[in-house]
Amino acid sequence: MKNDPRTLVRFAESLPEGSKIALEATGNWYYFYEVLEHKCPKIYLAHPLKTRAIAEARIKTDKIDSTILAHLLRTDFLPTSYIPPREIRDIREVLRYRASLVSLRTSIKNKVHAILSKNGINIEFSDIFGKKAIKHLRELNLRACYKQAISGYIRLVETLNGLIDEVTETIKKIVEDNPQAKLLTTIPGISYYSALLIIREIGDVNRFPDARRLCSYAGLVPSVHSSGGKCYHGSITKQGSKWLRWILIELSHHFIKSSNRIERLYKKITRKHGRNTARVAVAREMLKIIYYMLRDKRAFIIETD
Taking only the tens place, the pLDDT of each residue in 237-248 is 667 788 899 999
Residues linked to residue 43 through DSSP beta bridges, in sequence order: 21
Per DSSP, the chain holds a count of helices (H) and strands (E) of 13, 5
3-state helix, strand, coil in the chain (%, to 5): 60, 5, 30
Q: Are 174 and 181 in contact (CB under 8 A)?
A: yes
What are the extents of the domains in the chain? Answer: 5-81, 86-177, 208-296
- How many whole angstroms separate alpha carbon 23 and alpha carbon 222? 29
What are the pLDDT digits (tens) for 117-170?
999 998 888 888 888 999 999 999 999 999 999 999 999 999 999 999 999 999
- How many whole angstroms separate alpha carbon 125 and alpha carbon 266? 30
Which pLDDT score, from 0 to 100, does residue 231 have?
44
Residue 188 has pLDDT above 90, yes or no: no
Around Cβ 192, how many Cβ atoms within 10 Å? 20
Give the sign of the dihedral formed by CA 102, CA 103, CA 104, CA 106.
positive
Residue 60 has pLDDT above 70, yes or no: no
Q: What is the mean pLDDT of residues 43-69?
A: 71
Q: Are 8 and 36 in contact (CB under 8 A)?
A: yes
Q: How much is the mean pLDDT over the chain?
A: 86
Q: In the 8-state DSSP scheme, what is residue 16?
A: P
Q: What is the mean pLDDT of residues 215-225?
A: 78
pTM here? 0.76
